[in-house]
Amino acid sequence: MELTSFIERYSRQIMLKEVGVKGQVKLFKSRVAVIGCGATGTALAEFLARAGVGFIRVVDRDIIELSNLHRTHLFRELDVLENLPKAYACAKRLHEINSSINVEYVVDSVSADNIEKLIDDVDLVIDGSDNIETRLLINEACIILNKPWIMMGVERWYGMTKFIDVSKGACYQCLVGRRYRGRENVCEVLGVSNAIVSLVTSIASTLALKYLLELPVEEDLFIVDALDLTIRKIKLNRNPECSACVKKEFVFLNKKESGRIRYACGSNMIEVLPEKILKIDFSRLRETDILKHIKVFDNKVAYIKVGDVDMMLLDNGKALIKNIKDFSKAEELYNNILKELNKLSAIHYL
Ligand SMILES: [Zn+2]
């Protein structure tokens, strides 16, 4: 982008004495990872893209559903009909909003296996996830890699957000307490108002911008009540006994998933991993009997519909399968699809 249009584009922001041209350049040189492209993650991603943050990586394993639209600004009805992966659609919209920044998308579930790689090269991590376990995993990875992150959580009419500098102050484990070691109902689906999403993400966006501009950032826990329309700021101290930031016991990071077939947190999804390390070349794909409805996105990920079952197949052979409950049925479907891909010589075993 030409310097003149750069100045023009961000002119209202540059006019702010806390920003100026220097601050705007700082934003352009900043790198952020957004973990989760739900209502909170996409709101932050949009805000940062508009503000001119130079690199944004968005990560999500899911496809867009009709029930997402009431609270997710970036997604449209057509995206639901086209079964777009959330991360793909989010990146596409961000690029449409600001083509001068670099946006990267990753379609995958976030786990102990990949979290460090996803955040290693960024300045700030944004939590757009919808469960405590993923937040604790982000927390531990940020402690190991010494990355600041912003936690967000929304539920019904309530929400909270906190900027977490893992080198000092309270971490997320300090906040949820020592007792938390995973619970059964983290995937429970609760109602949420779109008003609370906007309120919480507005605060979180401000914290992100202030951090990237190297302005002092509040480290209080912000608790927002959209019914009473109140915002409380709570000072939190580091727990001197914290298992994560003090004792460096990384329970979630060390919890490597076992088994090739497993349930993924959040509704009815089963993950299937390949038996061997492989790479799928989706460009060789064409319709066959079993692969009736295939959509390939950038040769990186394919959406496959078989009856009522939705499958996202990643180029590393990992599959995320929805609307199927039985492990053996999921495996059978997966094996059949791989067999078809093999016939097309689309699979390279490494
Ligand atoms: Zn802690």
Token pair, residue 325, equals 């409950």
CA 69 to chain centre: 17
Over residues 288-298, mean pLDDT: 75
- Tell me how far apart the alpha carbons of residues 82 and 158 are, in angstroms, rounded to a whole number: 32
What pTM, to 2 d.p., does this model score? Answer: 0.92
Cα(257) to ligand 1 centroid in Å equals 24
At residue 183, the pLDDT reads 47
Cα(241) to ligand 1 centroid in Å equals 8
Residue 116 corresponds to which amino acid?
E
Cα(307) to ligand 1 centroid in Å equals 46
Beta bridge partners of 125: 33, 149
186 with 132: CB under 8 angstroms? yes
Cα(163) to ligand 1 centroid in Å equals 13
Cα(165) to ligand 1 centroid in Å equals 10
Mean of the per-residue pLDDT values for the chain? 91
Token pair, residue 203, equals 């605060």
35 with 118: CB under 8 angstroms? yes
Over residues 118-135, mean pLDDT: 95
Token pair, residue 116, equals 């460090």
Cα(116) to ligand 1 centroid in Å equals 18
Over residues 100-112, mean pLDDT: 94
Cα(246) to ligand 1 centroid in Å equals 6
153 with 136: CB under 8 angstroms? no
Residue 239 has pLDDT above 90, yes or no: yes
Q: Give residue 150's pLDDT band: very low, low, confident or very high (50, 70, 90).
A: very high
Residue 186 has pLDDT above 80, yes or no: no
At residue 211, the pLDDT reads 98
b/e code 35-57 from CB counts within 10 Å (16+ = b): bbbbbbbbbbbbbbbbbbbbbbb
Cα(237) to ligand 1 centroid in Å equals 9
Over residues 209-214, mean pLDDT: 98
The 10s digit of each residue's pLDDT in 315-348 is: 999 999 988 888 999 999 999 999 988 888 899 9
Q: Which CATH number fits domain 3-234: 2.60.120.10, 3.40.390.10, 3.90.1330.10, 3.40.50.720?
A: 3.40.50.720
Cα(110) to ligand 1 centroid in Å equals 21
The 10s digit of each residue's pLDDT in 155-167 is: 999 999 999 999 9
Cα(167) to ligand 1 centroid in Å equals 10
Cα(171) to ligand 1 centroid in Å equals 4
Cα(287) to ligand 1 centroid in Å equals 51
Find which of 133-137, 256-260, 261-265 is predicted with most confidence, using mean pLDDT: 133-137
End-to-end alpha-carbon separation of the chain, Å?
Answer: 40
Cα(226) to ligand 1 centroid in Å equals 28
At residue 33, the pLDDT reads 98
Cα(151) to ligand 1 centroid in Å equals 14
Q: Find where tokens 């059949």 sit.
A: 336
Cα(170) to ligand 1 centroid in Å equals 5
- Tell me how far apart the alpha carbons of residues 165 and 14 are, in angstroms, rounded to a whole number: 26
129 with 35: CB under 8 angstroms? yes
Cα(236) to ligand 1 centroid in Å equals 10
Cα(175) to ligand 1 centroid in Å equals 7
User: Coil, strand, or helix at residue 119?
Assistant: helix
Least confident of 10-19, 174-183, 302-311: 174-183
- Tell me how far apart the alpha carbons of residues 230 and 236 are, in angstroms, rounded to a whole number: 19
> In 3D, which of 346, 299, 261, 333 has the Cα closest to residue 107?
299
CA 133 to chain centre: 13
